[in-house]
Amino acid sequence: MKTRLRVLRAEKEWSQAELADSVGVTRQCINAIETGKYEPGLDLAFKIARTFGKNIEEVFLYEDG
Amino acid sequence: MIIQSTSPTAKSRRRNTLRWFYVFVIAAIVVFTLAAGSHAALQQGVLMAVGIVLAAAGIWSFVQFLKAADTHQKLINHDATSFAFAASLVLTLVFGLLQRFGFLLGASLLLPALMIALWSIGLILFSWRYQQ
């Protein structure tokens, strides 16, 4: 799964810590998602997408294989 | 634009529950050690009771820590617990062998302390994995 999280966050000029606080996770978690080391569950993915005012598919891109 | 925090106390809650876990566990181990060294039956009984209460408080704070953790932290915790379990299994066998040959007698309290130490090491190790 690919994510546009870093790009979207940069557009909004939010820090990882600010986004983490807003969705109720640690900064380390946001960093792990951005670097592709951790794939969030549905609940967190929806929370992140809603924080940006976007659909989940606009933030997370599913790839086969 | 500034984004609003949905859980301003979540971070402090996670830290506090983990701190309390370590405090209760260390206190329980100290009290159990004192109880094991005590020769008066009444004193030993009281110390054991206090130790059990402290250990229960430790378990309660651990559960609170897990409840406050996000899914990513739960994953790290799962890895750390697996690491502690596997390492404890190996070390239990080693301790068993050593005790069979007359070493480390009366070291039964060492095992829970060791498991918690290994779990803590696991938390640090598996947290590093997700850092840049």
**pLDDT tens digits, A12-44:** 999 999 999 899 898 999 999 999 989 999 999
Cα separation of B26 and B76, whole Å?
23
Say which residue the tokens 């380390």 belong to: A28
- Report angle CA B54, B57, B61 to the nearest 5 degrees: 140
Q: Is A52 on the interface with B (CB under 8 A)?
A: no
Cα separation of B32 and B21, whole Å?
16
Q: Is B130 on the interface with A (CB under 8 A)?
A: yes
**pLDDT tens digits, B72-122:** 989 999 999 999 999 988 888 888 888 888 877 666 667 778 888 899 999
Chain B residues in contact with A23 by the CB 8 A cut-off are 6
Q: Which tokens belong to B123?
A: 């938390």
